[in-house]
Every structure is written in C-alpha cells, then in structure tokens.
Amino acid sequence: MRISIIGIGSWGTALAIHLIKNGHQVTIYGRLEDNIVQINNDKVHPFLPGIVIPDELKITGDLKEACNNEYLVLAVPSQYIRDVVKKMYRAGFGKKTIINVAKGIEIETGLRMSEVVAEVTKSEYEYCVLSGPTHAEEVAKGLPAAIVAASENIELAELVQQIFNNESLRVYTNDDTLGVELGGSFKNVVAIASGIVDGLEFGDNAKASLITRGLYEMKQLGRKLGANPETFNGLTGIGDLMVTCMSKHSRNRGFGEKIGKGFKSSDILKSSDMVTEGVYAAKAFYLLSKKLNLDLPINEEVYKCIYENKAPLDCFKDLMTREMKMERE
C-alpha cells in the first residue's frame, strides 16, 4: 500500500516505522522544515531516542505530495485536526481513506474527530479510527501491543486491520466508532487525575479507585451519547486507561503528577514541546457534561485544577466527601 502519515510527531513516526516493516511505501508529512532536515540527516527523531529512522521512509514538507497517496493517516494533535484537514482538502483531497490516530475532542464544538473530518470535507471519504493502549516508544521498538481499528464500515476496519497487523502489533476490529473515540479521549482526563494521585503520594489504593471510577464516568458518557457500553471493557476503554494512567511514558499522567506536586498547569504547558491531550479533553468534556446535564465528578475536578487553579488536595477532598450512593449510581 502507498500510505501517508500526516504529522511527524512521535506517534506518527512510530507508525511509519511499523508500516515500513509491514512492506508498505510510506511518506510522512511534517510542517517544520528544520525538523524534516534534522530527521533526514540524522536518521533519529527527537522524541524517539535510540530508534533509527529507516532509509525507506520518505519525509516531505509538501502536503499536496503527501495527499497523493490513497491512505492518509491523521497523526496530529486533536485541536489541529480541523485546520490540517482543511489544508489537505485544498491540496487535492479527493476520495481518500482516512485513518485517524489522534485521541481528543474539539474544545470549541465538542465534536469527535470523525465529526470534525465529516464537517470539513463534506465529500466522499472512508473513515477509520485506530486507537488503543499503544505508546509510541514501544511500538517503534517493535514491542508487543494490541490496538483496535474501528469504522462503521466493518470492511474498511478489516482492511486497516490487514494493513497494520503483524507479529508485534495485533489489530482487532470494532464497528463502534463513537465508543472507541470517546474512550481514547476520556482516558487522558483520568490519566491526569491519576498523575495527581502520584504527585500527592496517595498510594495504590487511591489510584485503583480513581481509575475504576474513571471507567464508570467513561461508560456513563458513552451511554448518554449512544455508544456500545461493551466497547469500554476492551482495549480502547480499560486497556487504554491502564497504560495511560500507570505508565512512565504517559505525558498526561506526568502532567498530572506535576500538578500534584504543586506546579501550575500554565507553567507545565509552557515547559513542554509535546501536546497533552487531556488538558483540552477535560475542558471539552466539562462543557459537554453541562450541556447534557451529566455528572462527571472526576472530569470536573480535573477541569477545575487546570483552568481554575483549584488546589489538588481540595479537589480530592470534594471527590471523597460527595453524597454517599450505591456503586452503580
């Protein structure tokens, strides 16, 4: 297959390396000329230390050239998806297959990435989301992992499964695009809360409880919006929650840990070159929960920590002293 990765970050580059191992012809698009030159010359990525970039990987700064391929993998942060797809459309989008790997919700509209793409293109295209517990560093190294290809067109999901599946990355299919996208977005908020637990040194009991109740909120949101609740018991629900909430590689968990240690969210964001999706998701889900009249207490406290500078200890006190209820409420 001739495949283009739109976005030269760590995840897009890791997937490019993976696809080349599968025998595909891969082009990766980057916006910044300096990054392209550096990676081309040094054959290393600044966010993937120790990983050699294959000579077969074609790197370009020409979006029109990248859009010539039939399969386009969107690997840019969620808040940039709209602008990037607009530019792709102007560059000669045509009838393409879009495989989205960005995990997020658009703040201004509350739309999922599939909805953003549909709103921008207003044309014929095939859409599949690829999501699951997969850190870029490990996928680039070829360490074992599993992921989900989800599309309302199950035949497309099966095609994406064939393109990406190999002995180091097992790909499952799902027809619940809504649930997969929600799980991949909401878990980042729970991961920030989990990092705050680490920063406050609250221990394993608190972290396990938080992750479990975070899963409950994810399911409540999914039910309200019409997702299949079983989706959240799978790789893009429990699986992604586990890896993002516990891993040393998780930038969302790491962000939360710094908040727990007393750093301000604005200062943390200024000091990082990488996007922390949970920061944007917390706001998007907060606004959506008010619109839907839905109680998402963990998300609400994360939002208040980030955007209202509420003290982390006060957030957890308010979570622990909420009205008593049955577990399934």
pLDDT digits (tens, 9 = 90+) for 250-292: 999 999 999 999 999 989 988 887 789 999 999 999 999 999 9
The reply to whether domains 2-175 and 178-320 share a CATH topology is: no
Asked if the model's pLDDT at residue 94 lies above 70, the reply is: no
Instruction: Out of 187, 207, 219, 258, pick the active-site residue.
Output: 187
Rounded (10°) CA dihedral 252, 73, 289, 273: 30
* Residue 99, helix vs strand vs coil: strand
Asked if the model's pLDDT at residue 309 lies above 90, the reply is: yes
Q: How far apart are CA 117 and CA 98, in angstroms?
A: 9
Mean pLDDT of 7-33: 96
Asked if the model's pLDDT at residue 95 lies above 80, the reply is: no
Asked if the model's pLDDT at residue 124 lies above 70, the reply is: no
Do the Cβ atoms of 31 and 9 come closer than 8 Å?
no
Please report which confidence band the pLDDT of residue 93 belongs to, taking 50, 70 and 90 as the band edges: low
Please report which confidence band the pLDDT of residue 114 belongs to, taking 50, 70 and 90 as the band edges: very high
Q: What is the pLDDT of residues 194-229, one digit of tens each?
A: 999 999 999 999 999 999 999 999 999 999 999 999
Say what the pLDDT of residue 275 is: 81
Q: Where are the beta strands (DSSP E) in 165-260?
A: 169-174
Asked if the model's pLDDT at residue 123 lies above 70, the reply is: no
Q: What is the pLDDT of residues 137-160, one digit of tens each?
A: 999 999 999 999 999 999 999 999
CA angle 305, 180, 164 (to 5 degrees): 120
Would the pTM of this model clear 0.85, i.e. be above it? yes
Active site residue 248: no
Q: How far apart are CA 282 and CA 104, in angstroms?
A: 10
Superfamily of domain 2-175: NAD(P)-binding Rossmann-like Domain (3.40.50.720)
Say what the pLDDT of residue 213 is: 98
More confident residue, 33 or 189: 189
Please return the burial class of 155, using the count of CB atoms within 10 Å of its CB with bins 0-12, 13-18 and 19+: exposed
Asked if the model's pLDDT at residue 91 lies above 80, the reply is: no
Domain boundaries along the sequence of the chain:
2-175, 178-320
- The H-or-E segment that residue 127 falls in is strand 126-131
Question: Looking at the domain covering 178-320, what would its CATH class be?
Answer: mainly alpha
Q: What is the mean pLDDT of the chain?
A: 94
- 36 Cβ contact partners less than 8 Å away, ≥ 6 residues apart: 8, 30, 59, 60, 61
Do the Cβ atoms of 21 and 15 come closer than 8 Å?
no
Asked if the model's pLDDT at residue 125 lies above 90, the reply is: no
